[in-house]
Structure 1
Amino acid sequence: MRSRGIPPALAEHEIFYTEQAPEAADLLGRALSPARLSLGEVDSQRFAASLHGVRLRDVSLLHLDFGIAADLDMPSMGPYYAVHMPTNGRVLCTHDGRTIECNPIRAVVTSPGMEMGMQFAYDSPILVLRIEQEALTSHLTRLLGGTLSQPILFEPEMDLTTEAAMRWTGAIQMLHTEIFYEDSLVQRGHGIGSIEELLMSTLLLLQPSNHQARLVMPVEPVGKRVVREALDYIEAHLADRVTMTDIAKNVHMSIRAVQQGFREELETTPMLYLRDRRLERARADLVDGLPRDGVTVTDVAERWGFNHLGSFAVLYRKRWGESPSETLRR
């Protein structure tokens, strides 16, 4: 039974196509992680590898197809989490000491730095949802209201037939739709953050991990509750003028108590956290913006509360290693 081919939303977004196995391994190494690719003798002359995909900001949707049977070994996954979902056939995956048959009803979730082995059966293309490690860690930190004691580590096997997993499938379909339609919010550079946060939250809530219990059934000390409520307030007022008095008033605690909570849970101060989140939002606008559409560094900086352009540029370069104008021009 032949697969239905490349998802329509990705069909016009080819990253590479090659009929040479060494070249395919090299290109996959650049796109995903350094990899070794080996083919069986049967049908090896018919080998053709293709990778299609799009990246929003911190979330990418990729489609990998070898056509024939192939073995792909990645000694160390890159700094990202990924959900591997075959759209046809089967892929035997070895990850975190487990071997799992991955197919259209069973996916595999990988964590950074671990070895990943994949044995592709004939006609077994795979859809990969990739989330950058830093983004997922930051998102979970905001949800929990505190720093993580250890990196996120997911249970590798994901059963796509459960009722809970239907929400994951729905989130993927929403992403596909937003990418496919030219007049969608995402295509117009809006709502990208919301889509990414939906995907990250859904994965964190549904897939077992070493932090899921804290997220699903949190038992919060007063300090953690204060920090979480302060983070919610800051997130909702990033574009507004916010003072320590505003934050303390809205969480019904003293300024000192809020500051102490941030030091203990996040190892920072409320105002430094606010500044960092504004820098992240400014970068997102610059990445999405196009100079021909009238987007300027000055407008973006002022939108997120940076009224001194020189200071904004210094902070921006220190955080990302490039100037705001360089980001806008890319």
Structure 2
Amino acid sequence: MSPAEEPLAAHAVMNTADVDEAQHVVSEVYVRHELDSLGGRPLDARLNSIASERLTLGYLVYGAHASLDLPPLEHCYHVNLTLSGRTEVTRRRGKERAVTEGARSGAVLIPTEDSTVQWTPEATQFAMKFPRAPLEEHLGGLLGHPIHDALDFDVSMDLTAGPGAALMGAVRFLQTEMDRPGGIAAAPLARAQLETYVMTALLHGVPHQYTNELAAPRTEDRPMLVRQTQDYIDAHAGEAFSIPQLARRMGVSTRTLQVTFARHVGMTPSEYVRDVRLTRVHADLLAANPADRSVTELAATWGFLHQGRFSEQYRAKYGRLPSQTLRS
């Protein structure tokens, strides 16, 4: 495959024969490491990559026997999906070992353990970096509770069937859209959705300590986080607070709260707060004497200060204007 035909060819960041340059560039894009090519022999190394706050996706080639020694990654997870050739991965000072083969298997490096990766000259891979916070927050949203410890992924995964094949398919789809002129990944929101899909596929595709919980049937419609948040909103709907403040009070990140509500409530926390406040305004309008109270006054009591927007939201929920409810 020529460089022009490679995945993510329009996003090339490295093409070098120099071991030191390859080590520097790959360290900058991914994580610091030591690179050796059988005594410093020349490489035919190339890296094409894209990056966002959720993940880095790269197509990486060394073109020679290469050995990488990595300390614990600390702030990220690293996932290699082998496309051709062969690699050998060890973790925990050699206590865990995996051999990956092109289009058949991949490997995961974790924040808490050192690793080594040996490449054959013909090996090519999708090399992916997932920062800890977004991935763990996403898992917390899927489970309905915060994640406090690093994910202990298995060292390898099967890419030929089941969840592993779904992960490869998700990554291929993201790469294809990034390469396709006018692809939906060129739109920020569409790209974010694709990358979130890849994160979900990884969490389902490689076993870890939360796998059973993630796969278990839901025994309740609302996890505790949702119930506690709804109870707080119901009790404090008349008070001023932001969603980040609400998330901190619940002991989770804003993203975890948003993902959990989207999954279990079908709306964002902001939409739920607005819905509760509209319900309270509606009750006050029904009970009020139009000679004594105004729509503007009652709406402001529940935090609706923009009257035009409030009237639109109220009519969308109740099918009539707030002034009509007050007069009735």
What's the TM-score bracket when you normalise by the shorter of the two chains? Answer: 0.5 to 0.7
Give the aligned partner of residue 19 of structure 1: 17
Question: TM-score by structure 1 length?
Answer: 0.66
Give the distance between the partners of 1:85 and 1:230, measured in 2 at CA: 29
The equivalences for 1:173-322 within 5 A come to 173-217=172-216, 224=223, 227=226, 231-232=261-262, 236-238=266-268, 241-243=271-273, 246=276
Aligned-residue CA RMSD in angstroms?
3.2
Q: Percent identity of the aligned residues?
A: 20
Give the distance between the partners of 2:61 and 2:206, measured in 1 at CA: 26
Give the aligned partner of residue 30 of structure 1: 28
Q: Deviations over 1:48-104 (max 9, x none)?
A: 322210114312211221111111111222522222022211111112431111121
Give the aligned partner of residue 43 of structure 2: 47
Number of residue pairs matched by the alignment: 247
Give the aligned partner of residue 89 of structure 2: 93
Give the distance between the partners of 1:94 and 1:21, measured in 2 at CA: 22
Report the residue type matching 2:120 in the other structure. Answer: A
Give the distance between the partners of 2:188 and 2:85, measured in 1 at CA: 35
Give the aligned partner of residue 74 of structure 1: 70
Give the distance between the partners of 1:235 and 1:177, measured in 2 at CA: 33
Give the distance between the partners of 2:263 and 2:161, measured in 1 at CA: 34
Report the residue type matching 1:48 in the other structure. Answer: D
Q: 1:119 aligns to what SS in structure 2?
A: strand
Contact kept in structure 1, 2:80 and 2:128, CA below 8 Å: yes
Question: TM-score by structure 2 length?
Answer: 0.66
Give the distance between the partners of 1:208 and 1:94, measured in 2 at CA: 17
Give the distance between the partners of 1:187 and 1:67, measured in 2 at CA: 31
Q: 2:112 aligns to what SS in structure 1?
A: coil
Shift of 1:39: 1.7
Contact kept in structure 1, 2:35 and 2:69, CA below 8 Å: yes
Contact kept in structure 1, 2:154 and 2:207, CA below 8 Å: yes
Give the distance between the partners of 2:272 and 2:27, measured in 1 at CA: 44
Report the residue type matching 1:159 in the other structure. Answer: D
Q: Deviations over 1:245-288 (max 9, x none)?
A: 739x9xxxxxxxxxxxxxxxxxxxxxxxxxxxxxxxxxxxxxxx
Give the distance between the partners of 1:233 and 1:161, measured in 2 at CA: 29
Shift of 1:6: 7.2
The 10-residue stretch of structure 1 (212-221 or 123-132) with the greater mean CA deviation from structure 2: 212-221
Structure 2: segments with no counterpart, 5+ residues: 228-258, 280-304, 306-328
Give the aligned partner of residue 112 of structure 1: 111
Contact kept in structure 2, 1:85 and 1:103, CA below 8 Å: no
Structure 1: segments with no counterpart, 5+ residues: 250-306, 308-330
Give the aligned partner of residue 156 of structure 2: 157
Q: 1:191 aligns to what SS in structure 2?
A: helix
